[in-house]
Structure 1
Amino acid sequence: MTLGQKIRARREEMNLSQADLGKRIGISQVSIDKIESGKTLKSKYLPEVLSILGMPLDLISATVGRGAAPAQSTVSAVDLGELVPVKIAGKAKAGEFISIEDLGDWEEPEEFLDTRDPRFPHARHLGFEVEGDSMNALKPRPIQDGDRLSALAYEDIADRFPLRDGMIVVVQRTRHGGHEREWSVKQLEIYEDRMEFHPRSTNPRHKPIIIKRDSLADDGVTVEIIAIVRRLVAEFNL
């Protein structure tokens, strides 16, 4: 099955018309048809098509590597935007603190491909595996258990990228003098006197993290944003 055929099958599985998919990206139905028919797999919109459909971006390089037909084998990083490997930094699971000493036992992290953000060419790309149901009611697209997130390291872009309401972020909480940490995915709400990191969940046990500005309270827990989520990268059997 060609990449275009896989795209068509996945689109139909999601009950999207070619016009529907095109509207989400800002291109025409004809452009989607050309991608699916294999006439224009050089399209710079191909990574976005795959991302919206929840298909791994490494399908692009896999298509080239297998020696595809001429119409497909001309796909390059220049045409699509530079593809970069994104290492899985770890799992994001609300409510689970991990001992820092245990982190050294992890195996070599997995990788997937994503496009480099041209606004921040030197920022580190981080991947996260989501566990649990703390964002399963996020709209318009929930983040489910098992999803992968592609993100940018916040400290690399903080001076050029102001925080805004509604951003999806990865939050780190540490306790016991930094010996334990929790990573979780939250939606940011900004107020004059505080910042709130909200779960979007059907499970009532998940609670927001509220950080008041200029607060002198110290409960031994530190909270910081470590990554800004760019996109959700789901995996499907193709």
Structure 2
Amino acid sequence: MAVIFPEMLLQGMETSLQKRLRLRLDMLEMNPYQVAQKAGLGESFVRDILRGKTRSPNAANLAKLAVALETTPDWFLGAGDLAPPKSPPAIGGLPVVGTIQAGNWLDRSIIDDDDEPQIIPVARDPRFPHARQYSLLVSGDSMNERYQDGSYVTCVDYFDSGVSLKPGLIMHVERHNGPLVEVTLKAVDIVDGRMMLVPKSTNPRHAPLPLEGDAGTEILLKGIVTGNYVRTEI
């Protein structure tokens, strides 16, 4: 069933983007929140387009939306017939969607997701052809036994991957405490018979985390690290 908001019923006001977005949501049986999560966009991003609050999303975010809905940005803007391409075009690289920095708490309410992301020249992992893939800049020493400050980790969306949580995985983790969020990397390991999220760091101040969170924090497992990229100066 198509997603329709009252604002969209105004005669003649619906844009091609709104119409085609509704059509694609209906075809894939997805809701706006699911698509926003899959695309790595803000929770209200898809809903705001459907409501007409956002009529001209920037090119980078429209590209993310197209990949999540298995089509192209041009199709959303009215190119071609209403039957979208069956798969997204090849993307030359992975977007850098954030920074990993344990101990750095950010206010989610002022994080700006609209900046066009940097792209690193790393191919998608063919083991996960339909999953969202992205990269993160490593800042600090919380995982410096594996990933050095200034390098990039490549990731696949945890829920898209279909991979079960098990020791040995390196996870992209978010800790939430009210409006604050900490973005970090942790290894899955068994500590005293309990599955934990463990730093691989030479700095002893970085401590293991229980999967259920601690001290009022909530743990969200966002992605699985699939590789590491270091830019060479030339």
Classify the TM-score, shorter chain: 0.5 to 0.7
Q: Which residue of 2 aligns with 1:155?
A: 159
| TM-score, scaled relative to structure 2 | 0.56
Distance 1:218 1:188 in 2: 16
Distance 1:210 1:88 in 2: 27
The answer (yes or no) to whether the contact 1:151–1:227 under 8 Å persists in 2 is yes
The answer (yes or no) to whether the contact 1:83–1:114 under 8 Å persists in 2 is no
CA shift at 1:114, angstroms?
2.4
Q: Secondary structure at the match of 1:89?
A: strand
Q: Which residue of 2 aligns with 1:205?
A: 205
Q: Which residue of 2 aligns with 1:184?
A: 184
- After superposing on structure 2, the runs of 4+ consecutive aligned residues of structure 1 that deviate more than 6 Å are none
The answer (yes or no) to whether the contact 1:94–1:134 under 8 Å persists in 2 is yes
2:149 counterpart letter in structure 1: D
The answer (yes or no) to whether the contact 1:194–1:211 under 8 Å persists in 2 is no
Q: Which residue of 2 aligns with 1:225?
A: 221
1:3-56 per-residue CA deviation (whole Å, 9 max, x = no partner) reads: xxxxxxxxxxxxxxxxxxxxxxxxxxxxxxxxxxxxxxxxxxxxxxxxxxxxxx
The answer (yes or no) to whether the contact 1:83–1:113 under 8 Å persists in 2 is no
CA shift at 1:106, angstroms?
6.5
Q: CA RMSD in A?
A: 2.3
Matches within 5 A, 1:62-211: 84-104=92-112, 107-137=115-145, 142-157=146-161, 160-176=162-178, 179-190=179-190, 194-211=194-211
2:174 counterpart letter in structure 1: Q
1:154 counterpart letter in structure 2: Y
Q: 1:91 to 1:218 in 2, by over 3 A?
A: closer
1:234 aligns with 2:230: yes
1:139-179 per-residue CA deviation (whole Å, 9 max, x = no partner) reads: xxx3111111111011212xx31222111111111011xx1
The answer (yes or no) to whether the contact 1:164–1:190 under 8 Å persists in 2 is no
Distance 1:190 1:119 in 2: 26
1:210 counterpart letter in structure 2: P
Q: 1:181 to 1:192 in 2, by over 3 A?
A: same
Q: Secondary structure at the match of 1:104?
A: coil
1:63-108 per-residue CA deviation (whole Å, 9 max, x = no partner) reads: xxxxxxxxxxxxxxxxxxx664311110011111110122117632
Which one scores higher on RCO, CA 8 angstroms, separation ≥ 6? Answer: 1
Give structure 1 stretches of 5+ with no counterpart. Answer: 1-81
Q: Which residue of 2 aligns with 1:73?
A: none
The answer (yes or no) to whether the contact 1:168–1:188 under 8 Å persists in 2 is yes
Distance 2:152 2:127 in 1: 22
Q: 1:224 to 1:194 in 2, by over 3 A?
A: farther
Distance 2:164 2:127 in 1: 13
Distance 2:230 2:168 in 1: 21
The answer (yes or no) to whether the contact 1:172–1:223 under 8 Å persists in 2 is yes
Distance 1:171 1:120 in 2: 20
Q: Which residue of 1 aligns with 2:24?
A: none
Distance 1:199 1:218 in 2: 16
Identity within the alignment, %: 33
1:201 counterpart letter in structure 2: S
Distance 1:116 1:109 in 2: 16
| TM-score, scaled relative to structure 1 | 0.55
